[in-house]
Structure 1
C-alpha cells in the first residue's frame, strides 16, 4: 500500500463525494482504474462539466483546453491537487499534496515528459494531462533488453507524433497504440494525405519498395517492424538498409512463405506483412483460414481453385 495514494483517495472522496455522478475511490492505497476514474471525475467537476463520466473524452479535453495555459507555476486550486494526485498514482513524486503549483510540480511534469520521449520543457498540455490521468505506464514493465528496445521505439514515435496521436504508453509492450503509430509513421513518410494509422488503399498505393543501400524513415519503420515480429533482434533502428537487414527480410519472407523467399527487398507484401495481421491480401496464396468446419464439397471446391491448406 502507498500512503500517498491512500491520501489522494481519501481527499477525493471527501472533496467530491457529494457531487452527483462522482464514483468514490477505494481507500486501499493502490493505483487502479477506479482511482483514475475518480481523478477524472474530480477534474471534470472542476472544469464545470456537470455530467461526470469515467472517460477522458472530447468534452473533457475541450474544457481543459480553455484553461490549460493558466495551469502554470503560481496557479493554485483543486486542479493542482488532482494533478499531483495523478502523479502519485503514476509513481512520480510531486513532493507534496498542496494546492499550489510550484517548481516541484514542474519537475514532475518534466519527468513524465522525459519518460514519454517528448521534449521535457515542464509545460502541461492537454495531451500530457490525458496521459497522466490514465493507467498508461511510461516505464518498462518487464526488465528485458527487448522491452527496453520497444520502449525506445515508443518514445521515438511519441517524439514525432504526440501532437497528432496523443501520448502513447512507453512501457516496453508492443500493443495496438504502438502498431497504429507505426502505420501512421509510414503514412507520413510516404506523404499519404489524411494519415490515420489505418493501412487502407491510399497507404497500400503509396507503400514503396525498399532495397539494400537505402536509408530514411521508411527503412527505420521496416527495422521496427522486423524487430517486433521477432527478427532484427539486435535492434538496428539506424534507418540504414544494410545487407544484414536484407538478410532479416529474407528470414521473414521464408518464415511467412512470401515469394520470392530469397529476395532482400522489402515490398508491399513484406511491409504490410510486418505492420498488419492480414498482410497483403492481394498476394498469391494456397492457404485459407475458415471459422467453420468444411464439408467434402467445400474441400473439393477449394482444391479446384488451387488451395491446399486450410486452418
Structure 2
C-alpha cells in the first residue's frame, strides 16, 4: 500500500459527508479540499462522539470516548455497526488513511473488511485483534494523522519496532497504537518506555511512559550482554534501532549488536564495553541519560573564584562555560565573566568556553536582525574578555523551539550570526546551545560547528524522539551543588564533554572599560562597508528609494556627518560617562530613516511659523530627527539636574519651539549635544518612554560605560518613543550600535 495521496476524490467525498451529515449537529465543518488533515479527523471524531451520545463534543479521542466506545461496541463488524452513518464514519476514516473504504455506502462489506484487516496488519496488531472487525483502539488509531506505512526518511527497522510494540502491548490500558511510519518519534519512545515498564511489572495506571525513578531502578536489575536471549534484549535492541544505530530488532544479543553498542557508547562518551548496562539503557531512552555519571564540564552564573575552582577540580571538571555578557544590570550580578576570572581559571588548570545569551527564552527574541546584533555583540564582548581567535562561542536558544519556529526564526537568526562573524573577519567559531532538534538543524544548515545540548529537559519537543547530534560538544544532563561555604557552587549545570570543543586555557589581555577616544579617520572605509552590508541586509539601500519613502541621506553621508562631529561626540561621551555608540547610533539611524515624506512635514512646520499656514507647528527634524518639544524638555531636565547650563524654555510656546526647531534643523553640533541630553532624560523615564506593563526590561541604571545590552536597547527605544515603528527600528538599530562599538573599542584600546 502506498502513502495516502495529497489530493483524493474519496477524501473529498468523506469531507462532504461529514459536513453535510454532522456539520449542523456537531458545530464543526471542514474545508472540502480533498486532502486528509487533522481538521477532518477532528470532525470525524466529533461525529463518532455524537453517535455515541457523548457530551460535550471534543476534538480529542480521549479516555472518555474510548471507554464509551468499548462499552457499547467492543467489536464493530457487519452485524454490530449500529447505523449506515456510523459505518460511513469508519469508511471516511479509511479513505483519509489511504485505504479502500468502499463507496461510502454505509455497509461494512467485503472491501471495508479487507481494508480493516490490512490496517491492523500494518499497525502490527493482527494477532492481538484477529479478523476484520474494528476494535476501539484501532478505531482511535484510524482517526489520527499517523501513518502506518513508511514515510519520508523512515526505515524498515524502526517500523519493525513500532509494529512489534503495538502488537505486544496494545491490550494494556494506557498503551495506544503508535505510528508505523519508520520515524523515531517521541510517541514511539514513549511506547518503548511503556513496554519496559510493563515488563518490569508495573500495573496499568502506574506505567506512564516516563523515565522516572521506578523505571530507572528496575532497569538497573536488567542489564543485557552478548549471549543473552530475552524480551529485554528485544527492548534494548529496539532502543538501539530508535537511536538510528545499524542494528535490527532481535531477542538475541549477538556479536553485531555488541559491536554497534560499543560504537554507540563511544559516541555518547560511555565506556565501550559492548554490554547493555544501565548507563547505556539510560542514554538510549532519555535525553539526560544516566544522571549519576561523572561530568567533565559545567556551566553556571557565578564567578569562578580560586576556592570554587578548587571545588570544580575536585569534582573532575575540566571545562567551564561562562557568559560573555549579562542581560541585566541588577539581577545575577556574576552571570557575566568577572574581571580577573579568566586568569583564575587559567591558574587553576581549567579551561573556559564562552556562551552568549541575552534572553533567548522566547521565539520573539530570534530573527535575522537579532542574529546580526548577537554576532557583533559576542565578538565585541569576547575581545573585551581576551578570548583568542579560534575560540568557539555558543549562542543560546533557551526554549523549546518547534520545527516551524526553527525554520522561521532560529535559522534566520543564526544566518545573521554567521554574517556578522564574517563581517568581523571570522575571529571565532560559532556553536549553538539548545534542544537536540535546534542543534541538529542549525548545524545541518551550516550555521554552527558544534552543539551544546540542553538535555536536562526530556519533555522538550526538540529532545523527545531526537538523537544526539553528531557534532555534540557538551551535553548538559544534571544540576548539582558542589562544595560548601565560600567554595560552593549551588545548582550548577553539569555536562558531559565529547572533546569536540575544549574551550580556552589561555587568554589575551582583557580590554579594559576605558573612556572612548577620537576615532581615527582611517577606520571610516571599513565602518562604512560594515554598515552598508548590514543596512542592505535589512532592506536599506545605500542611497535613494521610491516615492515619499525615498531616503535623503546615503550611508556615506550619515557616517561622514557623524565623523564631522567626532570631537564633540567624544567630549560628550567623556563628560557624561556615555558610550559614543549611543550618540552615533541615534544619529545614524535617524539620518538613514529620514525620507521625502519627513522633509515635507518639516516644510509644513516652516509654513506654520513663517506664514501662519496649516497646523503643523513641530516635527522631528535635523540629522537626529528630534522635535523642538522633545529638545526643550530634554534641555530643561538636564539643566535642572546640573548636566548642562542654559535657559529654561517653554515647550508649549510657539516661539520657543520654533527657535529650538531651527537649531535642530540647521546646527548639527547643537543636535548632537541634544542627543546626549535626550539619553540622560530617557534614563530617568521621559514621558512616553516607559515600557509597556509586563515588559521584561527594567529601567536602566545611572549612565555608565558598562551598561548591559538590554539597558542600551531600552535607551535606544526610548529615544524613538515618538515613532510608531519604534520597537522594530530599535531592534534593528542594535546591530548598528554594535558596529560603532566595534570601531570605538579598537580606537580606545589601540
Q: TM-score, normalised by structure 1?
A: 0.89
Partner of 1:246: 258
Mapped to 2, the partners of 1:303 and 1:100 lie a distance apart of 74
Q: Which has the larger radius of gyration?
A: 2
Change in CA separation of 1:222 and 1:70 when aligned onto 2, cut-off 3 Å: closer
Equivalent residue runs for 1:70-89 within 5 Å: 71-74=76-79, 75=81, 76-89=83-96
Q: CA deviation at 1:152?
A: 0.9
Mapped to 1, the partners of 2:179 and 2:242 lie a distance apart of 16
Mapped to 1, the partners of 2:75 and 2:124 lie a distance apart of 24
Partner of 2:291: 281
Are the counterparts in 1 of residues 157 and 248 from structure 2 also a CA contact under 8 Å? no
Give 5+ residue unaligned stretches, structure 1: none
Partner secondary structure for residue 171 of structure 2: helix
Partner of 2:224: 210
Partner of 1:200: 212
Query: Does residue 15 in structure 1 map to residue 24 in structure 2?
Result: no
Partner of 2:47: 42
Q: Which moved more, 1:37-46 or 1:180-189?
A: 180-189
Mapped to 1, the partners of 2:272 and 2:76 lie a distance apart of 57
Partner of 1:129: 139
Q: CA deviation at 1:37?
A: 1.1
Q: Which moved more, 1:200-209 or 1:69-78?
A: 69-78
Are the counterparts in 1 of residues 93 and 142 from structure 2 also a CA contact under 8 Å? yes
Mapped to 2, the partners of 1:176 and 1:155 lie a distance apart of 15
Are the counterparts in 2 of residues 128 and 167 from structure 1 also a CA contact under 8 Å? yes
Q: May I ask how many residue pairs the two structures share in their alignment? A: 302
Equivalent residue runs for 1:78-227 within 5 Å: 78-119=85-126, 120-142=130-152, 147-164=155-172, 165-193=175-203, 194-207=206-219, 208-227=222-241
Mapped to 1, the partners of 2:68 and 2:272 lie a distance apart of 56
Query: Does residue 33 in structure 1 map to residue 38 in structure 2?
Result: yes
Are the counterparts in 1 of residues 74 and 136 from structure 2 also a CA contact under 8 Å? no
Partner secondary structure for residue 160 of structure 2: helix
Q: Per-residue displacement from partner, 1:88-121 (whole Å, max 9, x unpaired)?
A: 0011002210122222211111011011011141
Are the counterparts in 2 of residues 73 and 103 from structure 1 also a CA contact under 8 Å? no
Q: CA deviation at 1:167?
A: 1.2
Change in CA separation of 1:90 and 1:247 when aligned onto 2, cut-off 3 Å: same
Q: CA deviation at 1:281?
A: 0.6
Q: CA deviation at 1:299?
A: 7.4
Q: Per-residue displacement from partner, 1:206-247 (whole Å, max 9, x unpaired)?
A: 22222221111111222222233232x1x3322211223222
Change in CA separation of 1:190 and 1:51 when aligned onto 2, cut-off 3 Å: closer
Q: TM-score, normalised by structure 2?
A: 0.38
Mapped to 1, the partners of 2:157 and 2:75 lie a distance apart of 37
Give 5+ residue unaligned stretches, structure 2: 1-6, 322-451, 453-750
Q: Which moved more, 1:300-309 or 1:124-133?
A: 300-309
Q: CA deviation at 1:139?
A: 0.8
Are the counterparts in 2 of residues 22 and 52 from structure 1 also a CA contact under 8 Å? no
Mapped to 1, the partners of 2:276 and 2:290 lie a distance apart of 12
Mapped to 1, the partners of 2:274 and 2:55 lie a distance apart of 59
Q: CA deviation at 1:192?
A: 4.4
Mapped to 2, the partners of 1:70 and 1:252 lie a distance apart of 44
Mapped to 2, the partners of 1:160 and 1:131 lie a distance apart of 16
Mapped to 2, the partners of 1:262 and 1:90 lie a distance apart of 44
Q: CA deviation at 1:272?
A: 1.2
Are the counterparts in 1 of residues 227 and 253 from structure 2 also a CA contact under 8 Å? yes
Partner of 1:59: 64
Are the counterparts in 2 of residues 192 and 202 from structure 1 also a CA contact under 8 Å? no
Are the counterparts in 2 of residues 16 and 42 from structure 1 also a CA contact under 8 Å? yes
Mapped to 1, the partners of 2:18 and 2:113 lie a distance apart of 22
Partner secondary structure for residue 187 of structure 1: helix
Mapped to 1, the partners of 2:255 and 2:76 lie a distance apart of 51
The structure where strand makes up a greater share of residues is: 2
Change in CA separation of 1:227 and 1:106 when aligned onto 2, cut-off 3 Å: same
Partner of 1:230: 244
Q: CA deviation at 1:302?
A: 4.0
- Aligned with residue 276 of structure 2, among 266, 269, 273: 266
Are the counterparts in 2 of residues 158 and 168 from structure 1 also a CA contact under 8 Å? yes
Change in CA separation of 1:65 and 1:230 when aligned onto 2, cut-off 3 Å: closer
Mapped to 2, the partners of 1:12 and 1:236 lie a distance apart of 42
Q: CA deviation at 1:287?
A: 2.6
Mapped to 2, the partners of 1:29 and 1:299 lie a distance apart of 64
Are the counterparts in 1 of residues 76 and 135 from structure 2 also a CA contact under 8 Å? no
Q: CA deviation at 1:189?
A: 3.1
Are the counterparts in 2 of residues 47 and 63 from structure 1 also a CA contact under 8 Å? yes
Partner secondary structure for residue 67 of structure 2: helix
